[in-house]
Amino acid sequence: MPALRRLEELIELRNSRVTVPVGMARVEIAEFPPEVYREAVLNALCHRDLSRVEPIYVYHHPDRLTVSSPGGLPGDITPENIIRHRAYHRNPTLALLVERLGYVERAGIGVDTMFRVCLEQGKEPPEIRATADSVEVILRNGKVATSFVRFV
C-alpha cells in the first residue's frame, strides 16, 4: 500500500532516536516506535466504521502522534478494557488482507503489541480515547526512562 509507505516515510523524517548503552550493547529508542505507530494506523484502517465517509487522520506533533479514525469502538470494547478484551474485527476481511499482505504479524494482537513495545522501551502507554463518533490513539514522546530500558 503506497500510502502507508509514504506515511511511514513522513513520520520517520521527524522521528529522532536516542541510543541507550546497555552493557556492551546499545539499544536505539525512537521518539515514536515504528511498531507502535504502525499498529495504531493499521488498527484505524482495519477497524474503522466503513459506513462513515470521514478519513483517518494522523497528526504528528513534536510531543505526540495522534491517529484518529471514524466510528466508535466496536461492541462492548472500551478504552479501559481494550487490552484484555478478546480480539474483535469490525472488518474481518480487511483485517485478514492486511495480515496476508504482511503488514501485521497476526490479526488481533495489535493493541497488545503497542502496549508491550512502549513498556519495553520505557515509554508511556498509548492513550486511547473513544466516543460514538471516533477513536483516537495518542502516542506521547516523553523522556526515555533509560534506567528502565537497561533493566528490561
Number of domains in the chain: 1
Read off the pTM: 0.86
Q: Grid coordinates in use for 17? A: 532516536
CATH code of the domain covering residue 132: 3.30.565.60
Its domain, for residue 46, covers 2-151
What is the spatial distance between Cα 35 and Cα 19, in angstroms, rounded to a whole number?
Answer: 17
From first to last of its 152 residues, what are the pLDDT tens digits of the chain? 688 889 999 999 999 888 888 788 888 888 999 999 999 998 898 888 888 889 999 999 989 999 999 998 888 888 888 888 777 777 778 878 877 887 776 655 778 889 989 888 888 899 999 998 999 999 998 777 666 666 76
